[in-house]
Amino acid sequence: MQRRFISIWFRHLLADWQLIWRPELKEVPFVFAAPDHGRMIVTAVSQLAAEHEVTSGMSAADAKAICPGLEVLDDKVGRAGKLLKGLGEYCIRYAPIVAIDEFSMDGLMLEVSGCAHLWGGEREYLKEIISRLKSKGYTVRLAIADTPGAAWAVSRFGKVTPLIAPDEHVEALQLLPPEALRLEESTLSKLRKLGFYQIRSFIGMPRSVLRRRFGEAFLLRLAQALGTEEEVLQALRQPVPFRERLASLEPIKTKTGIEIAITRLLEVLCKRLQTEGLGLRSGLLTAYRIDGKIVQIAIGTSGASHSVAHLFKLFQLKIDQIKPALGIELFELEAVKVDALEVPQEILWNSKPGLNNKSILQLIDRVSGKLGAAAVHRYIPEAHYWPERSAGRARSLTELRVMNWNMDKPRPTELLPRPEVIQVMALIPDHPPKFFIYKGEQHQVVKADGPERIEREWWLDAGEHRDYYRVEDASGRRYWLYRSGHYGANQSFQWFVHGFFA
Amino acid sequence: MEAKLEILNKLRQDLLLWQGFKPAEGEAAQCVGLGEIEAAFPGGVFPRKAIHEFICAAPDQTAATDGFIAGLLSVLMADGTGCVWISTARRLFPPSLAAFNVEADRIIFVDVRNDREVLWVMEEALRCEGLAAVVAEVDSLSLVESRRLQLAAEQQGIPAMIIRKDPKRLVAGVSTARWQISPLPSSAEQGMPGVGFPRWRVDLLKVRSGNPGSWVLEWEADRFLQVPAQKVFVQRVQEKVG
């Protein structure tokens, strides 16, 4: 596909911006100046000042001498970048990939491959952008060409036409001065000294000669303009393949309105996802309020889904988090993460047992959407004898257990998260206790099983082993007790209750 | 006269059917392995589209209640379906469920912060297809909330089991059955040492249009077994004197 680029040059970016905010400066020539080595240096010029031959780079005092009545305004570092970012975000409406012109910081670069026909051809496309930016108060020069370098050159220095037809950019570059190649000042002065006033005078020279004289950077710029070297644009916003926008005629303030907007967006998005066999895993709804603020809510699903009803329910749980304030003028729904969707075979009854069931997945999505994903647990057996580690968290609903649940040793129905200390009396060492006091109540042990020794997993943590006993007291309550460590006078050992049997 | 009686009987049957006590025509009457206890329910069938409340009067009854519910789940989940277990402070130990024939990896545990969230999750789960049962540990449940749960349970026919750990906050609800499970001393086979099968006193305190009663049950490896009353004896501790 033929790649096409538009370069937008804001001739007086800062001055235009200032005029928008302070129209009273329209009749006055003014410049922006910033301190540099103790002097005020002009950084940006208004159109009126430019007519008086004031250029950026001269000192403010000189400029005032040339042009009496010149107004000098303070410049702030990074203001141009901020402005360009805002303008670039505005220009995303024209092309998905918009980049700031990093070389001169006074323009934008748009990759418009395959966009022009949507606006009725390249000429109309350019006209539309110019008039739209002009109506906002910016004077711009545009050029469209096959390479970013050529577009940049023609937008700044072209005199014939801004519309460089496909494959004609080399011709268009011939008559332009070497400044059009985005070169360093030192290289430019060298070129001027050698009498190269037009690109055509050195374009045909052997590369080795040019490299020796002007260095690698010069060749790179030349190649980028000619298109033999790829130039990568740093997009302001990486285009997301699945994004839908819905602008509202009137600002929306009510919950019903937001719900309708979400449904409409989901309908379009889900249809697109469905045709591509994809499902949404995480989505982001951005609401642009008329006061310039942005509100976002995000949802996630445990399995890819393109069901409007289900996704809507997930968003519905979070609508309360959207504060519409004065109203929302634009909704944007983005599928941040999509996954291939396995299309289940149509069945007559939803009789598929197990957890990998559509309705259960949707239930889990709703629960984790409202209460957080940490609320939902599922356990699978793990190869540990240590009771606290014998059940591990499953990562997903569909993760299968790799081993069976261990059944050969008794395990309590309820396990205390932290074993509690008890007082115990045992008749003989290593015999089950005869009597114990738990929470102030005395329990006479009638029946007992054990001991079951569980060694501590020394590669995971240090400590004593445990000897577990299952005991039943006189009233039929069954406990899981253990003694930590060996029985003996010279060793520290302690008794704990760790669980309750049914 | 006879015709009238027939119509009345038919109506009674229909009423039971509508209330969810009887399986609809074509569905096999499924028992849950409770044996004689099931006869206490109207129509002799364990009601599935219903709320079952389990009262834990004392803290030691919770383990027995969990065990009894696990026994019920083993039948309800036998066809491979899953279950949701909702709680605020869970002590249930998943690996122990294997002893009750329940595969703990088919249970989804939802741990939430308060009763409000428990009830919300429970209602959502009850309206979800393809679950065998929903178990929730709730402390306070009002009449309106229980009514909502009942309607949700009727919709999909999923039994809702509610464990009430705070008996002080009991109010009249619309639950179909109210149980109390308390542990009893186990009896090992004659002359054998050690702890025997878990044994409980199962009190059916309240059944809607049924007969409450009290039974002694034992979980024997893979099923409930009723223990005849004469076999139950209360262990006496012989205290040594002197």
> Tell me, what's the pLDDT at B233?
55
**For position B235, what pLDDT does the model report?**
46
B contacts of A354 (beta carbons < 8 Å): 80-82, 106
Name the band, by pLDDT with cuts 50, 70 and 90, for residue A346.
low
DSSP code at position B106: G
In one-letter notation, the amino acid at residue B58 is A
Fill in the amino acid letter for A268: V
* The pLDDT value given to residue B86: 94
Q: What is the mean pLDDT of residues B193-216?
A: 88
**Average pLDDT value over all residues in chain A:** 87
User: By the 8 A CB rule, do B198 and B183 touch?
Assistant: yes
Q: CB pairs under 8 A, 24+ apart, for B166-169?
A: B166/B139, B166/B140, B167/B55, B167/B56, B167/B57, B169/B139, B169/B140
The pLDDT tens digits for A138-193 are: 999 999 999 999 999 999 998 888 888 888 888 888 989 988 989 888 999 998 89
For Cα atoms B18, B20, B26, give the angle at the middle one, nearest 5 degrees: 85
| Structure tokens given for A59 | 């000192």
Contacts of A394 in chain B (CB under 8 A): 105
Which residues from B are below 8 Å from A477, CB to CB? 60, 183
Whether B185 and A475 have beta carbons less than 8 Å apart is answered as yes
Contact A246, A233 (CB under 8 A): no
Average pLDDT over residues A450-465: 87
The 10 Å Cβ neighbour count of residue A256 is 10
Q: Closest-CA residue in chain A for B89?
A: A417
Query: For residue A169, which of A201, A152, A146, A199 has the smallest C-alpha distance?
Result: A146
Of B67, B131, B196, the CB nearest to A502: B67
Q: Determine the pLDDT at residue B8.
A: 85
Taking CB atoms and an 8 Å limit, are A448 and B194 in contact across chains?
yes
Mean pLDDT value of segment A248-252: 87
Which residues from chain B sit within 8 angstroms of residue A359, using beta carbons?
128-130
Q: Which tokens go with A17?
A: 């911006």
- For residue A246, list its beta bridge partners: A331
Query: What is the DSSP annotation of A339-384?
Result: EE---PPP-SS----SS--HHHHHHHHHHHHHH-GGGEE-EEE-S-
Q: Which residue of B has its CA nearest to A449?
A: B194
Among candidates B60, B125, B186 on the partner chain, residue whose Cβ is nearest the Cβ of A447: B186
Q: How many A-B residue pairs are in contact by the CB < 8 A criterion?
A: 177
Contact A359 B130 (CB under 8 A): yes
- The pLDDT of residue A24 is 87
End-to-end C-alpha distance for chain B, whole angstroms: 77
Give the closest of A366, A370, A502 to B198, CB-based.
Answer: A502
CA atoms within 13 A on the CB side of B168: 1
Question: Angle at Cα B47 formed by Cα B41 and Cα B52, nearest 5°?
Answer: 95
Interchain CB distance below 8 Å, B196 and A447: yes
- Determine the residue of chain B that is closest to A382 in CA distance: B95
Interface test with A, best of B96, B119, B121 (most A CBs within 10 A): B96
- Specify the pLDDT at position B237: 45
Chain centroid, CA B2 distance in Å: 39
Nearest to A289 by CA among A256, A253, A237: A253
What local confidence, expressed as pLDDT, does residue A89 receive? 83
- Across the interface, which of B109, B183, B195 has its CB nearest the CB of A378? B109
Q: Which residue of B has its CA nearest to A372?
A: B112
B193 and B90 Cβ atoms separated by less than 8 Å: no
Q: Which of A481, A426, A493, A427 is nearest to A452 (CA)?
A: A481
Instruction: Using DSSP, state whether A113 is helix, strand or coil.
Output: coil
In A197-255, the DSSP E strands lie at 243-252
Calpha distance B168→B177 (Å, rounded)? 18
Tokens representing A193?
A: 């000294």
Chain A residue numbers with beta carbons less than 8 Å from the beta carbon of B84 are 363
pLDDT value, residue A289: 86
- Residue contact A411–B99, C-beta within 8 A: yes
Share of chain A above pLDDT 90, in %: 21
User: Which residue does chain A place closest to B70, by CA atoms?
Assistant: A413
CB < 8 Å to A444, chain B: 237
Q: B46 CA to chain A: closest CA distance, Å?
A: 21
User: What are the tens digits of pLDDT across the range A271-297?
Assistant: 999 888 888 889 999 888 888 788 889
Q: Inspect the interface and report whether the beta carbons of A499 and B93 lie closer than 8 Å.
A: yes
Whether residue A476 contacts residue B197, with contact meaning beta carbons closer than 8 Å, is answered with no
Which residue type does A421 have? V
Interface test with B, best of A363, A389, A441, A480 (most B CBs within 10 A): A363
Nearest-CA neighbor of A116 among A70, A45, A164, A167? Answer: A164
Please name which of A21, A3, A17 lies closest in space to residue A85, comparing C-alpha atoms: A17
Percent of chain A with pLDDT over 70: 96
CB–CB contact B183 A412 (8 Å): no
Q: Which of A351, A355, A416 to mutate to test the interface with B (most CBs of B within 10 A)?
A: A355
Examine the pLDDT at B232 and tell me if it is beyond 70. no
Q: Which residues pair with A497 in a beta bridge?
A: A420, A481
pLDDT confidence bin for A115, thresholds 50/70/90: confident
Listed ranges A23-27, A55-59, A412-416, B173-177; the one with the highest mean pLDDT: A412-416
Task: With a cut of 80, say whether residue A353 has pLDDT above it.
Answer: no
Residues of A in contact with B92 (CB under 8 A): 413-415
Residues 6+ positions from A344 with CB-CB distance below 8 Å: A358
- Token pair for residue A264? 């409409």
Give the gap in angstroms from C-alpha B241 to the nearest C-alpha of chain A.
Answer: 15
Output the pLDDT for position B24: 47
CB-closest option in A381, A411, A448 to B195: A448
β partners of residue A303 = none
What's the pTM value of the predicted model, to 2 decimals? 0.68
CA atoms within 13 A on the CB side of A485: 12
CB contact under 8 A, B92 and A413: yes
The whole-angstrom distance between residue B113's C-alpha and the CA centroid of its chain comes to: 24
* Backbone angles phi and psi of A95, in degrees to 5: -155, 150
Distance from C-alpha of A280 to C-alpha of A323, rounded to nearest angstrom: 25
Nearest to B63 among A366, A379, A413 (CB): A413
Q: Is a pLDDT exceeding 90 seen at residue A463?
A: no
In the numeric block, which tokens belong to residue B124?
């959502």
Give yes or no for a contact between A324 and A293, defined as CB atoms under 8 angstroms apart: no
**Can you read off the two tokens belonging to residue A341?**
């969707």
The 8-class DSSP code of residue A163 comes to B
Interface test mutation site (partner A, options B85, B115, B195, B235, max chain A beta carbons within 10 A):
B195
Nearest CA in chain B to A351: B130
pLDDT for B238 equals 47
* Residue scoring higher pLDDT (A255 or A89): A255
Quote the pLDDT of residue A259: 93
Contacts of B96 in chain A (CB under 8 A): 411-413, 415, 502
**A285 - beta bridge partners?**
A297, A333
Query: Would you state the pLDDT for residue A154?
Result: 92
Residues in chain A: 502
> Using an 8 Å Cβ cutoff, are A91 and A8 in contact?
yes
Of the candidates A405, A470, A474, the beta carbon closest to that of B95 is on A405
**Please, are residues A93 and A81 in contact by the beta-carbon 8 Å criterion?**
no
Phi/psi of residue B200, each to 5°? -135, 155
CB distance A405–B97 less than 8 Å?
yes
The Cβ-side half-sphere exposure at A494, using a 13 Å CA radius, reads 9
H or E element at residue A42 = strand A39-45
Please give the structure tokens belonging to residue A476.
Answer: 């039929």
Contact A470/B124, CB-based, under 8 Å? no
User: Residue B105: which of A394, A411, A415 has the nearest Cβ?
Assistant: A394
> Would you call A448 and B104 a contact, using CB atoms and an 8 Å cutoff?
no
Q: Which helix (H) or strand (E) holds A316?
A: helix A308-316
Above 80 in pLDDT, residue B23?
no
Residue B22's pLDDT is 54
Q: How far apart are CA A186 and CA A193, in angstroms?
A: 11
Query: Cβ contact (<8 Å) for B92 and A478?
Result: no
Chain A residues closer than 8 Å to B91 by CB: 414-417, 500
How far apart are alpha carbons A390 and A382 in whole angstroms?
A: 5
Nearest CA of chain B to the CA of A355: how many Å? 6
> Which pLDDT belongs to residue B135?
94
Mean pLDDT score, A302-328: 88
Alpha carbons within 13 angstroms on the beta-carbon side of residue B228 total: 2
Distance CA B65, CA B50 (A): 18
Beta bridge partners of A278: A340
Tell me what pLDDT residue A500 has: 92
What H or E segment, with its residue span, contains residue A170?
helix A169-174
